[in-house]
Amino acid sequence: MKLILAIVQEKDSRRLMEALVAAEFQATMLASTGGFLREGNSTILIGTDEARVDDALAVIQKTCRVREQLVSPLPPVVEPVDSYISYPVKVQVGGATVFVLDVERLVKI
């Protein structure tokens, strides 16, 4: 048994959950916040047999896409904000960060 933890951008989470259900995976979605951009993410928990891990990863890869986004850097904490000029920077967001973990025991109550 495996537990797949997929951290995805909030924009992709609903579409991913629908695709996982269509592929007959049981999944739970938790709201989370990213540390770098401080934007909404979702952490999707998927419990599956080892034989279906690659199928789940294929659904995640097909559904969660990388895109570019303009962000304004936060001002440095030690300098006055009025002297800081920030220019938007392009960064890549989206996609998924996925962890596949061994599950020693699963109990449904």
DSSP letters for 14-72: HHHHHHHHHTT-EEEEEEEE-SSS--EEEEEEEEE-GGGHHHHHHHHHHH--EEEEEEP
Q: Is the pTM of this model over 0.85?
A: no
In order of 28, 29, 81, the CA distances from 50 in angstroms are: 18, 21, 52
Question: pLDDT tens digits, residue range 25-80?
Answer: 999 999 987 666 567 789 999 999 999 999 999 999 999 988 776 666 665 555 55
Which domains, from first to last, does the chain contain? 2-102 (3.30.70.120)
What phi and psi values does residue 47 have, to the nearest 5 degrees?
A: -100, 130
Question: pLDDT tens digits, residue range 95-106?
Answer: 899 999 999 998
CA distance 1 to 30: 21
